[in-house]
Amino acid sequence: MKKQTIPIISLNKVNKIFPLAVGGSQQVLFDINFTINSGEFVAIMGPSGSGKSTCMNIIGALDGATSGTYELYGKDISTMTPDDLATIRNEYIGFVFQNFNLLPKRTVLDNIMMPLMYRGIVMRDRITRAREMLKLVGLENFEVYYPTQLSGGMKQRVAIARALAGNPKLILADEPTGSLDSKMGNEILKFFEKLNRDFGITIVMITHEFQISQYARRIIHIYDGRITYDGPVPKSETILLKSEKRAKK
């Protein structure tokens, strides 16, 4: 029997227009359509200024579309209040950012517990869960350290532990290796592979590097605000570059 796939993310004719300070406006996304199912590992890829970060902000409920619809677990995000969106971000999505976004004056354990505090979970359970996540990322001996005492790779592992603390089914990773050297970056990407393979966590990763996208199993390529490729990860970047050339015509 074929395994049933459950849509987590569904964008339908999503457009995004930003007003300009000097007057007028600029459109950065044009009729974006795609669905991401439970258990996928997808790289949203494109050059700087392509619109991929804007797309990520919409997926993460950090920004809204100008038109079109975005459904997360079948719920229309565009109809939600700011409080509803905050709840969605806290309970449904784990975020991993390029610059880690850790609180420098709080310990590693405190940083990981932060999302759980906003849920109203009691301290005892917050500590237990945070320690479980630290063990998962191999940093169980660093809970009393501060972010300034950690290497870049360790900071990103703490950020991943924080993202996992709320038991999300979706992780959004925005250029997660951008502040790391190649060796540590590869270790982080392999860890994402493990989370996806062993725990079934859906991962959406934003990147501008083809080499990094190779860890995913599907690429959505965006160029000048339009999807030019959506399919399995190609063996060569040439296919994506050709899709960009077609978009220019």
Give me 74's structure tokens: 């079948």
Q: Taking Cα atoms as reference points, which of 100, 97, 70, 99 lies closest to residue 85?
A: 70
Whether 169 has a pLDDT exceeding 90, the answer reads no
Whether 219 has a pLDDT exceeding 50, the answer reads yes
At residue 1, the pLDDT reads 42
Express as a percent the part of the chain with pLDDT over 70.
98
Q: Strands of 53-198 (E only): list them.
A: 67-72, 75-76, 93-97, 170-174
- Is 15 in contact with 30 (CB distance < 8 Å)? yes
For CA atoms 51, 53, 56, 60, give the dihedral sign: negative
At residue 166, the pLDDT reads 87
Distance CA 36, CA 88 (A): 17
**Region 121-145 average pLDDT:** 94
Query: Could you tell me where the DSSP H helices lie in 137-181?
Result: 152-165
Strand order in the sheet with 67-72: 25-37, 7-19, 67-72, 75-76
Give me 163's structure tokens: 């993202």
Q: Report pTM.
A: 0.90
Give me 50's structure tokens: 């392509």
**Domains in the chain, start-ordered, CATH in brackets?**
7-248 (3.40.50.300)
At residue 154, the pLDDT reads 93
At residue 4, the pLDDT reads 57
Higher confidence at residue 242 or residue 216? 216
Mean pLDDT of the chain: 91
**Region 106-129 average pLDDT:** 92
Residue whose tokens read 């395994």: 3
Distance CA 155, CA 139 (A): 10
At residue 249, the pLDDT reads 66
Q: CB 197: neighbour CB atoms within 10 A?
A: 12
- Is 159 in contact with 102 (CB distance < 8 Å)? yes
3's enclosing H/E stretch is none
At residue 41, the pLDDT reads 97
At residue 142, the pLDDT reads 96
